[in-house]
A and B are shown apart, each in its own frame.
Chain A
Amino acid sequence: MSPEEHKVKANSKGVLTGVYYIDGDVASGYGALAAGCKFVAGYPITPSTEAFEAICHRGPQVGAVFIQMEDELGSISAIMGAAWAGVKTMTITSGPGYSLMQETIGFGAMLETPFVLLNIQRGGPSTGVPTKTGQADMMQSRWGAHGDYELIAISPDSPQEMFDYTIKAFNLAEKYRCPVMIMSDECVGHMTEKVVIPDADKIEIEPRRLYAGPASDYLPFKPDPDLVPKMAKAGEGLNLYITGLVHDERGYPVTDADYKSMHVRRLVDKIRLNKDKIIELREQGIDGADVIVVSYGISSRVAVKGVEIARQKGIKVGTLRLVTVWPFPDERIVELAKGTKAFVVPEINYGQIVFDVARCAHGQANVVLVPHGGAGVHNPSDVAEAIEFAARQEKPIEGVYEFKTRLEKSVFEGGFRLKE
């Protein structure tokens, strides 16, 4: 049976069918329950606590278990254990907690453990601005842990998407046996909108690909043709051995240099070679566009207004929304760069995804960053002006051009007045 035929319908017990008016955090919690998540370990951190609390509240009613651990390290370690005990599992955090979890995320990648991590990004770095938004953990979601690995990151832009894409995140985690990040942000997390939760039989779930053969033949890290090994769980008489050291197909550590290369190579290829099946993009008005706005998460909603203003001025603008941010859609950007003048990238940070856009542009299109430090979203007029600026450039600009926003001007040229 091919992997595509593996999908099943959701278990109605976890699906809270109905029409709701809830915030993104809560929607994600409900999405996890609908996906069949049975264990959530978390630690309170603004602005993600509502998601965890929603699960604490509804979870027991639908058979899911939760535990508040002593810190984020405990949380992510607990969900690793739960995954190997056989359940779908998730943890929920924000910037500082996400930083604490990095070692175990790498561990999860190494052990090919399926789990979902919801990061409601906030202003950073360090303690930053806990109650307001940011999108500055995007590169961290790709490179935060040591060593080589690849994982998947999704950026929803509404509470409805928080519901839908949390389910998708669980499906991807099972399909590729890897950690999946939902890189949301405080705006989307705390935004209250209509969320429609359909009947269970309309929700597709990827079940865990479990090994079904004789115990004596089980090799926990022997990959199927798509490079993903079948999983097992503790308590089945398989005598699992799981280690974060480089290991062979049996899971036993090896120090052989050849093997090391092969094993880590597969971890990376597993995602890289399956990119096409993972990447999800939303394009609008791309054909013939002089400027393409590349964005994700809450910035893509703000960009819509900016694009509207620019179009009213007669500029041919298209939008490319990254629903999955990692793996990055290299090939699509390379292609689009050939046919457009410039990419404009509004992000709530001082430049993260824009560098990958610039990398793939291969000098064929200019790249303009519209930055924002966080604790707020872009002013759509800044996005519109950046689009205008980009459309006007006839000569190539070397490197990424950082657009000067109104906020920057008002703070540094107007003078920053201390607010009490």
Chain B
Amino acid sequence: MAVERINRKEIHPMENLLRMERMPHIWCPTCGIGIAVTAFTAALEKAKLDPNMVSIVSGIGCTGRVAGYVKLDSFHTTHGRPIAFATGIKVANPKMKVVVFSGDGDLMAIGGNHFIHAARRNIDMLVVCVNNFIYAMTGGQVAPTTPLAAYATTSPYGCVEPPFNIPYIADSSGAVYVARYTALHVRRLTNALTEALQKKGFSVVEVISPCGMYYSRINRLGDGLEMMKFYHDNVEIRNGEDTKNLDIGFQTKIICGKFVDRERPTYMERYNQWLSEVKPTGKNPDVSRGAQSEG
């Protein structure tokens, strides 16, 4: 049967924010990262930020590849350290809006320390954590978010570690905006990202995503579509819920929503305030005093 060629150029609506010359991307069919990226680019437009003033930093992993496909000043850095890298950018050039886009393993395992410190300091940055409950890029090892009893290649007898509750850690460390949605909830996710992009302070948006290649395959949970169906049937939107109650078990209910939205002075606000209180005299410091030994 002859197929008529449709003679119009098919343009992705977010083309100006994507590195089209690198398409197709490397993510597997049934992966939710692409959805997160689309939501993010849509949010960038909705938030009316100047793309020239937004920098995106990723770590290592499947989600870590996001920086390579988004058309902003983008950095693909070392495993676990995009937040530290982004802190350097922000503190050195506070005019930049920095976004860290990385996975659960990168941000919460090896990067855990940097996550809590940046939250504590309230560095003005958005952290998008795509949580697929597994280390996918390296072949399906257990992650700090892998639910108890789930299988992974390094928990072949079932995971014995209780997982992190990411919104709870973010909240208790001092984040000013914390939300969680799944890859199914595209519109809510886009709105959350829009709000977070406009928010001053350390903001975290967790995106629960299917991983058809590893997590759901190893655990016999079906393919991407079945995972989406699962989200549809088992997600409860509870805005304002206490982050303590947001644990995720193996194939249990997942609570999504916006949980934290508060105000705290940011790191640079405090830093600048301190600077303005230190009265530079214009005179050179008393150099004859020299350094004092720390003992």
Q: A interface vs B, CB < 8 Å?
A: 42-46, 49, 52-53, 56-57, 60, 66, 68, 70-72, 96, 126-127
Contact = CB atoms under 8 A, between A and B. Distances in A.
25 contacts: A44-B138, A44-B141, A45-B138, A46-B137, A46-B138, A49-B139, A52-B154, A53-B141, A53-B153, A53-B154, A56-B153, A56-B155, A56-B156, A57-B156, A68-B142, A68-B154, A70-B109, A70-B112, A71-B80, A71-B109, A71-B110, A72-B110, A127-B60, A127-B76, A127-B78
A44 B139 contact: yes
Contacts of B174: none
Given A68-B155, A96-B78, 6 more contacts: A46-B137, A49-B153, A56-B156, A70-B144, A71-B80, A127-B76
A45 to B, nearest CB: 7
Contacts of B157: 60
A49 B138 contact: yes
B19 to A, nearest CB: 13
Contact of A44 (B76, B78, B80, B135): B135
Question: Main SS of chain B's interface residues?
Answer: loop
Nearest to B146: A68
B79 interface: yes
A366 to B, nearest CB: 40
Q: Which of B135, B138, B139, B142 has the most CB of A within 10 A?
A: B138
B139 A46 contact: yes
A67 B153 CA distance: 12
A415 B122 CA distance: 48
Contacts of B154: 42, 44, 52-53, 56, 66, 68
A60 B139 CA distance: 21
A30 to B, nearest CB: 16
A234 B154 CA distance: 28
Contacts of A46: 137-139
B228 to A, nearest CB: 27
A126 B59 CA distance: 12
A53 B138 CA distance: 11
Nearest to A68: B154
A126 B78 contact: yes
Contacts of A60: 157
Nearest to B79: A96
A45 B156 CA distance: 18
Interface in B17-76: 60, 76
A53 B157 CA distance: 12
Contacts of B80: 71
Shortest beta-carbon contacts, A-B, top 8: A71-B110, A44-B141, A44-B138, A70-B109, A68-B154, A56-B154, A53-B153, A57-B156
Nearest to B160: A67
A23 to B, nearest CB: 13
Interface string B135-167: 101110110100000000111110000000000
Contacts of A44: 135, 138-139, 141, 154
Q: Which of A57, A68, A127 has the most CB of B within 10 A?
A: A68
B141 A68 contact: yes
Nearest to A45: B138
Nearest to B110: A71
B62 to A, nearest CB: 12
A49 B156 CA distance: 14
A234 B76 CA distance: 43
Interface string B89-110: 0000000000000000000011
Nearest to A57: B156
Contacts of A56: 153-156
B141 A49 contact: yes
Interface in B107-143: 109-110, 112, 135, 137-139, 141-142
A70 B138 contact: no
A70 B111 CA distance: 8
Q: Which of B80, B138, B154 has the most CB of A within 10 A?
A: B154
